Structure 1
Amino acid sequence: MELNLQDIPRVKTITKEDFIKNYFKPQKPVVIERFIEDWPAYSKWNLDYMKEIAGDITVPLYDDRPVDYKDGFNEAHAKMKMSDYIDLLKREPTKYRIFLWNILKEVPQLQKDFSFPDFGLRLMKGLPMLFFGGRDSYTFMHYDIDLANIFHFHFEGEKQCILFDQKQNKHLYKIPHSLITREDINFANPDLKKWPALKNAKGWVCNLNHGEVLYMPEGYWHYMRYITPGFSMSLRAIARNPKNLGKAIYNVFIMRSFDNIMRRIKGQKWIDWKNEQAIIRTNKAQSIT
């Protein structure tokens, strides 16, 4: 038995009005296939181009090791020159990923390759972020701390995206005081005997190809797996739903600080307790004894 996932709807292109009415207002995901063909990035952006333009920059790398109490929030696991990293991506599968890499700050000339599209939402201009990964590398199932509306543009190769909305939290083995699920769940091929509550979760799935954009509504959980080496850019718009905006403010100013304090006081015991609570709370919510 597999996860209960339906295909994310796909459109070739979309007007602002249709996007707002059919996807933003009902908070449904969509893949837009041919929205950025007029961007220079559409024909230019690939791994070789990134190596050429940003090869000398040292980049922070992350892998899929479990959270350790000693790690700071989003602390890098390794660093490498961009040129060496891209050589590694092309040579062999690697767990190392780049995430939340602000291209405007690092390589301002890349800004000339794309424009901020008008989807009817005000996009945050200072925060275009790039994400890179090698074949079969993946991000843990998580949602973003600010519960933003996210437009995820993919370049080179193929990437699998699995999404859940916030209503599915009770089935996902969510870790308390954090933005992730249990890290030992393989969402590409989950063991449903070990994680039975996942059978009750209803989600979405798509494979993104070069030049396609995925709209992820506010606070959607997402798991991303690189089928081939590649990279994506995210543009975001602030959460509009007052409840989500409230959660975002709580996450940034209270939850994150509380979690950091508890890590300092309790160390690994705090992480272990949270992992255990994820199972206890999820089972309780299913009425599974």
Structure 2
Amino acid sequence: MGLQLSEIERVKTISKEDFLNHYVRKQRPVVIERLTADWPAYEKWKLAYIKAVAGDKTVPLYDDRPVSHKDKFNEAHAEMKMTDYIDLLEREPTNYRIFLYNLMKEVPVLKNDFKWPDIGLKLVKQLPMLFFGGENSKVFMHFDIDYSNILHFHFHGVKRCVIFAPDQTPYMYKIPHALISREDIDFDNPDFDRWPALKQAKGFVTTLNHGEMLYMPEGYWHYMKYVTPGFSMSLRAFPRKIGNLAKAAYNVAIMRHFDTWMRRRKGQAWIDYKNRRAIEDTHRNLGIPIPQN
């Protein structure tokens, strides 16, 4: 038995009014398959093109190692020239990913390849962030610090996306003072004996192909797996709900700084404490026996 996942609804195209009324206001995810069809990026954005225009850039890389008290917030694990990284992606599976990278700032020609979609959301007009990954690389289950509404576009290849609404948080083994669930959960094949709360979670799944866009409403949990090498771009709009704006402000102004301070003060003991609390709090709140070990 696997997770309880429903396929995310798909449309070829959609009007601004229908997108707002049926998805944004109802906070329902959707895949829009042809939103990028008139973008230059639809034809151009392949790994070979990125290598040609940005190959000389040194890029930050992340892997799937567990969070350490020694890591700073979003600190990269390695770096590499983009041309070498793309060669690696095309040669063999790798856990190295590029995460939240503002490549367009360093390679402005990329800005000519996409259009800000007129889709009813007031998008933050900072330069978009890009994400790259190799075959079978994974982005751990998390939600975004700012609770934004996210338009997530995928290019070159196939990406599997598993998402959960915020009301599923009680089942997600959320780490206290963090934006992630337990990193040792395999969301492709969860061990329900170890993580019994996940049996109650109800989420969504889709497979994104080249040029497709996934709308993730504010505060949604998401887990991504690159089925093939590829890359994605996210555009975002601030949360519309006042409560989520307040949570975003707390996360940015207080939570992440408190967590960083505690890592420095307590070291690995702080990480171990939070991992333990994720199980204890989840099971206690759901009336599930807490494992004794």
TM-score band, normalised by the shorter chain?
A: over 0.9
For the 8 Å contact 2:121–2:237, the answer to whether it is kept is yes
Per-residue deviation at 1:127? 3.6
1:261 corresponds to which residue? Answer: 261
Query: How far did 1:56 drift?
Result: 0.1
Q: CA RMSD in A?
A: 0.6
Matches of 2:249 and 2:107, distance apart in 1: 30
Query: Aligned residue for 1:140?
Result: 140
What secondary structure, in the 3-state scheme, does the structure 1 residue paired with 2:142 have? coil
Residues 175-215 of structure 1, C-alpha deviations (whole Å, 9 max, x = no match): 00000000000111111111110001110000000010000
**How far apart are residue 35 of structure 1 and its match?**
1.1
The amino acid across from 2:224 in the alignment is: M
Which moved further from structure 2: 47-56 or 98-107?
98-107
Query: Percent identity at matched positions?
Result: 65
Deviations 1:162-181 (A, max 9, x none): 00111111101000000000
Which residue is 1:76 aligned to? 76
Question: CA separation in 2, counterparts of 1:23 and 1:51?
Answer: 36
Distance 2:106 2:187 in 1: 32
- SS where residue 136 of structure 1 aligns? coil
Kept in 1: contact 2:105–2:127 (CA 8 A):
no
Q: 1:252 and 1:104 mapped to 2: Cα distance?
A: 24
Superposed CA deviations along residues 106-156 of structure 1, whole A, max 9, x for unmatched, are 211100000100111111111401000000001000000000000000001
For 1:130 and 1:220, locate their aligned partners in 2 and report how far apart those are by CA, in whole Å: 19
Residues 1:165 and 2:165 are matched in the alignment: yes
The 5 Å alignment of 1:131-280 reads 131-280=131-280
Counterpart amino acid of 1:82?
M
Give a deviation string over 1:239-274, Cα, whole Å, max 9, x none: 110000000000000000110110011000000000
Residue identity matched to 1:193: D
1:49-68 equivalence runs, <5 A: 49-68=49-68
1:105 deviates by 1.0
Matched, 1:99 2:99: yes
Q: Unaligned stretches of 5+ in structure 1?
A: none
What TM-score comes out, normalization by structure 2 length?
0.98
Query: Secondary structure, in 3 states, of the residue corresponding to 1:132?
Result: strand
Distance 1:60 1:256 in 2: 21
Q: How many residues are matched?
A: 289
Q: Residues 31 and 214 of structure 1 are in contact (CA less than 8 Å); yes or no, is this contact kept in structure 2? A: yes
1:200 and 1:127 mapped to 2: Cα distance?
A: 38
Distance in 2 separating the partners of 1:106 and 1:118? 26
Q: Secondary structure at the residue paired with 1:141?
A: strand
- In the TM superposition, residue 95 of structure 1 has moved relative to its aligned partner by 0.2
Deviations along 1:35-76, one digit per CA (max 9) or x if unpaired, are: 111100000000000000000000000000000001000000
Contact 1:58 1:80 in 2 (8 A): yes
Q: Is the Cα contact below 8 Å between 1:127 and 1:236 reproduced in 2? A: no
Distance 1:171 1:182 in 2: 11
In the TM superposition, what is the alpha-carbon distance from 1:285 to its structure 2 partner?
A: 1.7
